[in-house]
Amino acid sequence: MGRYGAGSGIIPPLFCGDDMNRGCAIGCILLLIAGFVGADSISSTIMCDGASWVSSSVIGQGQTYAAHLFTTSITSIIRELQVNNGKVETVSIADSSGPMGIDEYSGKEGNQTSAPNGCVFDISENRTWRNDEIRYTGLMKSGLYTSARDLTSSETSATTMINGTGMILARASSQDQSNETTHTSDVAGRLNMTERIIFGGED
């Protein structure tokens, strides 16, 4: 089919034929969404036949998000980042026919009850301290990595889907004054995994 034909050249399998149109449409939709929202927004669509290194980060009031991806072969990468009134939302999709490195972290730490005002001798209010962390790291021989992260004042969540060959390490923890929750996944080889993690949120 030639250099840019379906299934070969710079276009990875995810974007061949009808899938290529679908991928382009997704990229255009993300760019349009970014143009109409009244908040900090970054949209990026990359198709690369070579090496690529991309990163994104947000540091806010008790909230942190950081992601790094690198590839060395034919790759498509779609990223969307929205920050609005203390809420952080991200979507990352990376499809590589060769090696791909992954490091994505989201965390939140803070008090859910504000500090008391007035005399320093007043009885302190009950303050709930909370610390949430979710991190995925890995090295793929080839495959697809899809991630969605949400950080709000009350919730930390992550949805991760991975299909390919390689090694993935997942670490998640949530701790407050009365409870501690931990999650670990170590997977290597040919893998297909989906994980949904929610810390906090409505009762």
Q: pLDDT tens, 106-158?
A: 999 876 555 455 555 555 555 567 899 999 999 999 999 999 999 988 899 99
List residues bridging with 167 in a β-sheet. Answer: 139, 188
List residues bridging with 70 in a β-sheet. Answer: 53, 101
Q: How high is the pLDDT of residue 34?
A: 45
More confident residue, 39 or 60: 60
Tell me the pLDDT band of 54, cut-offs 50, 70 and 90: very high
Secondary structure of residue 124 in the 3-state scheme:
coil
Question: Is residue 67 exposed (0-12), middle (13-18) or buried (19+ Cβ within 10 Å)?
Answer: buried
Query: Can you tell me the distance from the alpha carbon of 66 to that of 59, in angstroms, rounded to the nearest whole number?
Result: 9
List residues bridging with 111 in a β-sheet. Answer: 129
Q: pLDDT tens, 62-107?
A: 889 999 999 999 999 999 999 988 899 999 999 999 999 999 999 9
Q: What is the mean pLDDT of residues 197-202?
A: 84
Q: pLDDT tens, 163-194?
A: 999 999 999 999 988 889 999 999 999 999 99
Least confident of 7-11, 112-116, 197-201: 7-11
Round the average pLDDT of the chain to a whole number and report it.
81
Tell me the pLDDT band of 7, cut-offs 50, 70 and 90: very low
- pTM for the full predicted model: 0.74
